[in-house]
Amino acid sequence: MADCELCSEAKRASAFWQNDLFYLIDASCEATPNFVRLVLKRHVPEMSDLPREERVRVWDALNAIEEAMREVLSPAKVNLAEFGNMVPHLHWHLIARYRDDMYFPESTWSNAVRGLPAATAERLARNPALFKRIAEKLA
């Protein structure tokens, strides 16, 4: 769809993994150093707009990403969210959470409750291993 950021070729080109149904991008930053976004290729707003077979493929992929995060990062918790209020193009946020991260135990959409932890650079440096493990699981 024209004017949709998630439909853009530039966004797709930044994917670290993709198939016919969805692509995965690295949404990490210092505040949320291990953050993967799964974006549907088609422009639909809701999970219930998909046929069940495609929904199950998305759910299985979310589970594979969650498992990879647990294996590679040992986070305190994995957070999953599908909002799409700003960009009504189906996408999922998967965020590894740590007890000392800027928002814990609040959501990463809440106000920060502390500063950046010392482990930030080390956590960012684990992303190549995370993305490799995700690709292995989705292969």
Position among 4, 13, 29, 76 found at the interface with a copy of itself (CB under 8 A): 76
The yes or no reply on residue 109 touching a copy of itself (CB under 8 A) is yes
Report the 10 Å Cβ neighbour count for 1.
11
114 vs 125 by CB, closer to a copy of itself = 114
- For residue 52, report the phi and psi dihedrals to the nearest 5 degrees: -55, -40
Q: How far is the CB of 66 from a copy of itself (least distance, A)?
A: 5
Kindly list the distances between the CA atom of residue 134 and the CA atoms of 2, 11, 25, 73, 105, in Å, as whole numbers in the listed order: 30, 19, 12, 12, 25
Structure tokens at 24: 């995965």
Write out the binding residues for a copy of itself, residues 11-50 only, by CB under 8 A.
Answer: 45-48
Which residues contact a copy of itself by CB under 8 A?
45-48, 52, 55-56, 59, 62-63, 66-67, 70, 76-86, 88, 97, 104-107, 109-111
